Each structure stands twice: as C-alpha cells, then as structure tokens.
Chain A
Amino acid sequence: MTGPRTAVEDRTRFLVRRDHPWWRVLAVAGILLAWELFARAGWVPVLFLPSPIGVLREGADMVVSGEIVTHLAASLQRLVFGFVLGAALGIAVGVAVGFFSIAEAVGTPVIAATFPIPKIALLPLLILWLGLGEASKIAVIALGVFFPMAINTYTGVRQADPLLVRAAVAFGARRWSVIRKVMLPSALPMIFAGLRLGAGTALLLLVAAEMIAVESGIGFLVLHAGNLMQTTKLMVGIVLLSLLGVLSHWSLNRLERLAIPWRHDH
C-alpha cells in the first residue's frame, strides 16, 4: 500500500523541564548590578538602601575589627544550645507520644493547644521566669524547635510500616528494641523535615530574643545598627543572617544524607 508518509513527532517536548544554571547566576548578578547602579546614580538614598559594594566594604571592616566573630560566636552559641535542647526534647516526647497510648492521650491535646501560640509572644514571660540572661533566650529558641520536632517525630513513629514492626517482633524484638530499631529509623525522614522547620524558627526567635538585654549577636547587630541608623552595618547583619540560614539548611541536608543513606520512597 502506498501513500503519503507522516512521521511520528514527540508531543511531550514542551513538558521537558531543564535546568538553567546560567540564568540563575545571571539573575542574581543582574540584581546586584542594578542595585549598585541605582545607589551610585542616587535614585535611592544610600541611607535607605546601602549599595552592595558599600555593604561588602563595611563587612570587610567588621571582619578585620573582629566584630563579626564576636557577634557570630554569641549567636551561634545561643542557636546551637537552643536547637539541640529543643530537638532532643522534641524527639523524646514525639517517640513517647507515638508509642505509648497513655502518653498519646495526654500529649496530643496539650501539644495541639500550645503549638499555635507564637513563641515570640512567650518571650516576656520567659524573661520573667528565667531572667534577662542567656537562659531565657536559649529557652525561647528551644521552645520554637521543640514543637515541630515533637509533632514530626510523632507522625514519623506512627507511620512506621506495621509489616516491619511485625517482622521485628517475629525475630524476638520487645518494646524498646522496636522503638530503637524500627520506629526511630522509620521516623528519621520526618525527623529531618522537623529539623529543617525548626532551624528556620530558631533563627527567627534568635533575632527576637537578641532584641532585649544583649550586647552581642547578629540579631543584636541588626537592631543596634538600626537604632543608630547605621544602615550599612544593618545590611551586613542581614546578610549574615541570610548566610546563617543558608548554612544551617545546607548542613542539615548533608547530615541527612549521612544519616539516611537508604532511599526513603515510602
């Protein structure tokens, strides 16, 4: 049979999503360039929006004077203590509530009632109870991390594959073995999701906590520079905060890759 031939064309071509690494780089560079030009042309007063190069220069000065190290160290200390404390407590409570029915009956309403309270609002109370020193600041950060960790760990534990639990019991595992060897590893992906959420909250609360009665820290730097109307320094502080956020996200991702070497495709 002869006749006109028609080729079969790939109709899914428009659905293909490619990565555009050069666009990303150009976009960021473009914004920075435009920003610098605006500042130089005087279209935006430098006091209101410091130029990128001005910010870099100020940052370099601050590195040399040692200011950055002081502030970073103070903030990191509060962040790490608060984060570790909140995460440890959150995981413990999450496992307890996920595994023991009485703990669940007691825990879930309490957590549901207290979780929606913005932790920033609790800061004055914490200061009253724990004083103006480091304790109240670490406590508010820990509280902010506790809730996502507890909730995510609980969910992760409840989601543990019942087949695996049965298999573990079939091979002789008792309560603590099941928790340690099946439920916790099952919950690890959810736990890391909680850690990432917690990291964001921790940074936010760090800045809020550093608004009162501190003499160093990145949040303090931002606030202090704001009070003094030293807007370039303020921008350095903001850049540092952003870097802290990126760094914590990146390190959590690496940590997750180390801790969860198996694929989790459930």
Chain B
Amino acid sequence: MTRWLVALLLLATLAAPAAAADTVKVGVLKLTSSAPLFIGVEKGFFKEFGVEPELVFFQAAAPIATALAAGQVDVGATGLTAALYNIVLGGEKIWVVADKGREWPGYPLTAIVVRKELYDGGLRGVTDLKGKRIGITQLGSTFHYHLGNVLEKHGLTLNDVKIVPLQAMGAAMEALKGRQVDAIMLPQPFPGTAEAQGFGRILAWGGDLFPWQIAAVFYAKKFAADRDRAVSFMKGYAKSSRYYHDAVLVQKDGRVVQGKRYDEVVAITAKYTGAKPEVIRLGFPYQDRNGRLLTQDLARQIDWWVKHGFMKSPLSLSDVVDTRFLELALKDLRE
C-alpha cells in the first residue's frame, strides 16, 4: 500500500513542474490599466504564440517588483516605482520592456479625488490642497511621484501637504469615506467608484496635470534569459495592445471614439476588476498602440527619486531598459 502512495507522490511531484514550466506568471493589479493583459488572456492572444499566462493579483505595485526580484513571478505589468529602481540599484536585474500606461492628457488613469464636502465648499484647484491630508498607498509609489510632480508644477512641494501612507488602495478609499483624509490619489476604477458612491469628487485627472510614463511591462532576469519565450510573450502583448488601442483609445477631434470592440473590452475589464461598467466607461488609460516606451521619461523619474532621497544614487537607462524583445516581436508581427 505504502509503495503505491510513494510512487503516486513521486509522479505528482514530477508532473507538477512539467505543467508549471509552460505557464508564465504575470503579476498585475485589478485596475483598468491592466486591461491589455486581461484582453490577451481572455482572447487567447498569448496562447497563439505558445505562451500560457497565469495572472497573479497584487495589492500595490511595489510588491510586484519585489516578487520579480525573488523570481516568484516572471512578468510584471504595473507602475514604475522607486522600489523597482532600488532593486536594480541593489544589484538584481529587472528589465523594463514595454509601455503599459501613460498619464496622458485627455485619458483618465489616476485622479486626485477630494472629499465631496470639501469640493462643494470650494476646493477646486491643486493649490487648494495646501495643508491638506492626502492619502496614497505607499511612499515611493507612482502616486507619490505623480503627486510630488503635480505639486511642484503648481509652485508647491510635498512638504506643503501631509502625505498619509495607507498601504492598500482599498484602505485609501475607506479613509476618504471615513473622512480621515481630505484627498486621495488612486487609479481607475477607484475615482469613478468614489464619485458614483457619492463620497468623493474628482479634482482633476493626473494625465491632464502632469503626463509621464507611469506603468510598464517588466521581465524577471530568468524570464528575460529565455529569449524565445520572452519575444513570444511580447508578440502576444503587442497584439493585445493594438486590440485595446483600437477599441478604446482612438480619438477624433479631441474626443475618444468608441471602436468596434469597445463594449467587449469594457465587459472584460469589468470582469477582472470587479468594478461597474459605468465606472469603467469613464475612460481608459493611454498607451502606445504598439506598446513602445517613452524611454527618456524613465531617466527623469530616476533623477526625481534621487533628488528627493528615495534612491541613493542614479541608474543609467541601459541597466534598466531593454526594448529589444518588443522590437523583435513587432518585426515579426508586421502590420
């Protein structure tokens, strides 16, 4: 009897890694900005190129960078945080390979949401935020960077407001609802939900205030070393990105025109984020149709983090960015 059990166990342990070897673990957040990934999984674009993706959901962006460094996920698709740069600075390799979202004028991604009473009472501009308590997820996050730059653009500094780190996006929503902070900075679908539920008003969209390369696709060192699979993943990603762009991002005369597949993309996004379609319809974040990065913006980010003391020393882009996978993939895809 025991011999049977042992044999069974051995078989199971042998079989498991074989199955796992083909899936690619992709760390994402349940946000509208992850839509291209959701599309690629739903419509089988990755499978087309021989890649089996497995979505792994996180609560904030920095932990995805940590998971990449530890080899717990193969691909990360989330915001560019100080943690990511510090990991590379600390000697571990993570490669930024493609665009996954930009703060762009006219395209809603992150918003500053203020308490409804404060908005009704006259809080309408960035300068009105002076002295207020603003909730974000973590220091070193994209919201931290974004808020800091927005303030600086309007003549203020981070010291003019009180930053309240709340660790998770859900907690930030609760804090706004419970009146423990005056404003929060969160990405879609949270701002839409806050307005829909009546406790918040969107002060402004981040892309209108300060555009930047906020999110990207990154590869773990081991995954990047497997060049064939790395390029295949990019092919699936590029196809997803084009599908996404054509469905929801095309603009005519300054306004977004709903593509043929608009409703489908809304439905897919609603399914994975759990948010209401009306909230998602408020808008989708911008990314390059082919997924190409605004590489130079990363240099600007690194400088800002160093200046504010969140990175000890600067990085050169060649240590962090590798767009060859995407270029190779695009070459094959043509179109």
Binding site for B on A (CB under 8 A): 45-48, 127-128, 131-132, 211-215, 224, 227-231
Contact = CB atoms under 8 A, between A and B. Distances in A.
25 contacts: A45-B90, A46-B90, A46-B91, A47-B90, A47-B92, A128-B178, A131-B180, A132-B164, A132-B180, A132-B181, A212-B171, A224-B140, A224-B165, A227-B62, A228-B86, A228-B310, A229-B66, A229-B83, A229-B84, A229-B86, A229-B87, A229-B90, A230-B86, A230-B90, A230-B312
Nearest to A214: B165
B217 interface: no
Contacts of B69: 47, 229
Interface in B297-317: 310, 312
A185 B181 CA distance: 48
Given A47-B87, A132-B181, A228 B92 contact: no
Nearest to A213: B164
Query: Taking each of A131, A213, A227, A231, which has the highest tally of chain B beta carbons within 10 Å of its own beta carbon?
Result: A227
B90 A127 contact: no
Contacts, number: 61
Contacts of B181: 132
B150 interface: no
A132 B141 CA distance: 20
B163 interface: yes
Closest 4 CB pairs of A and B: A47-B90, A229-B83, A229-B86, A228-B140
> A-side binding surface: helix, strand, loop or mixed?
loop
Interface in B154-169: 163-167
Contacts of B238: none
Nearest to A228: B140
A132 B175 contact: yes
Contact of B167 (A128, A212, A231): A212
A229 B164 CA distance: 19
B123 interface: no
Contact of B65 (A214, A229, A230): A229
Nearest to B178: A128
A213 B91 contact: no
Contacts of A227: 62, 83, 138-141
B165 A212 contact: yes
B82 interface: yes
Contacts of B86: 228-230
A209 B327 CA distance: 47
Contacts of B84: 229
A215 to B, nearest CB: 7
Contacts of B82: 228-229
A56 B52 CA distance: 45
A47 B88 CA distance: 9
Nearest to A132: B180
Interface in B208-267: none
B166 A45 contact: no
Interface string B53-91: 000000000100110011000000000001110110011
A229 B163 CA distance: 20
A48 B70 CA distance: 9
Nearest to B171: A212
Contacts of A132: 133, 164, 175, 180-181
A132 B70 CA distance: 33
